[in-house]
Amino acid sequence: MFNTSQTLSTSDVYYSTTPIDLKAPYNVTTAGRKTILITGGARGLGEGMLREFAKLGATVIVGDLNETRGESVTAEIRMSSGNLNVHFLPLDVTSYTSQCEFFRSARKLSPTGKITTVIANAGVAELGSFIEPSPTKIPLDVDPPEPDMTTVDVNFKGVLYTTKLALHHLRSSPVGQRELILVGSMSSFTSGPMMAVYSATKHGVLGLFRSIRLFPSKRDGVRINMICPYFVDTPIVPIGGKVMLAGLEIAVLDDVVDAVSRLVCDEGIAGRCLAIAPRQAGGVMEVGVHEMENVDAFCRRVVIAMNMQSKMEIFTKFLVDILWLLVVGPILRLFE
């Protein structure tokens, strides 16, 4: 057994820093030395992030399935911002091959050949309805139609691919400058009508965030944070959704961009999750803080156990190497 009261040093765990002071200013000038990748950056939230980071002088590389829109918006932003380090690359997040090419090409476009920041933003709304047609209208001896899995492929499988490749390529940057931001939704915590699959995928992204933020030794010191916006007036909101939201206050794109900018520019934030609600409901706020505190003791026990396992693996390898050098090697040489 291990001592659950053991104090963890920063070399042991960096999975979660203290709660964020959202009233405190942050230094936006740090953005100027970053190379930022944004998936799904041709419109909506991704385009808002692209415009902000281009204005701050960062190298920004966006990938999107909509090549016409991606090329036009990056060309317009290069001209309006004067930042020539703004690039578009075609990207299908549901294809691992496409994502691999996106990351490789992005490193070639980076002035430093490195990637400091990845924002897993690409997403789609609920496509079709998981519960339609009504099962009661289909004879029992007839199979219901196969559900459209595009939402799962984009919103969850695509994020898994992005995360996998981000943790690989972010090693090109110095420790302390490596960061991954996952884009969830208020649906990561709640549910809504006619959004079963969408909510499930966003719950999945939250589960991914909660898991991978735990073990920095396995992540090479990558800061991992998350944002969860409420409805924002972007193309992802379908016509039906806009009708339902008519007359109601929604979240503001500028608040989403500010939340992401804070997470990117303040390099002291790790393992935190920001929600972006309508301003009358509080605007940008931290969520899951109390839940994170409640599970902190459990997480510490798990992290201590994992670190002890890692140290034992290193020690075991050391002993095997010594045994080979002093015993097995000489014996084998006797038979040469």
d(CA 156, CA 150): 10
> Which of 14, 15, 161, 198 is the catalytic position?
198
DSSP 3-state assignment of 49? helix
> Which of 15, 202, 230, 317 is the catalytic position?
202
Task: Spell out where 80-136 has E strands.
Answer: 86-90, 117-120
One-letter amino acid for residue 62 of the chain: V
| Residue 241 near residue 127 (C-beta atoms within 8 A) | no
| Residue 216 near residue 15 (C-beta atoms within 8 A) | yes
Q: Which residues contact 98 (CB under 8 A, 6 or more apart)?
A: 90, 91, 92
Task: Give the 3-state DSSP-derived string for 161-203, with helices as H, strands as E and coil as C.
Answer: HHHHHHHHHHHHCCCCCCEEEEECCHHHCCCCCCCHHHHHHHH
How many CB atoms are located within 10 Å of the residue 259 CB?
Answer: 25
d(CA 238, CA 118): 27
Sheet containing 284-286: which strands, arranged edge to edge? 86-90, 59-64, 35-39, 117-120, 179-183, 223-229, 273-276, 284-286
DSSP 3-state assignment of 117? strand
User: CB-hemisphere CA count at 13 Å for 331?
Assistant: 5
Cα pseudo-dihedral 112, 178, 43, 123, rounded to 10? 140
User: Is 202 in the active site?
Assistant: yes
Residues tagged active-site: 198, 202
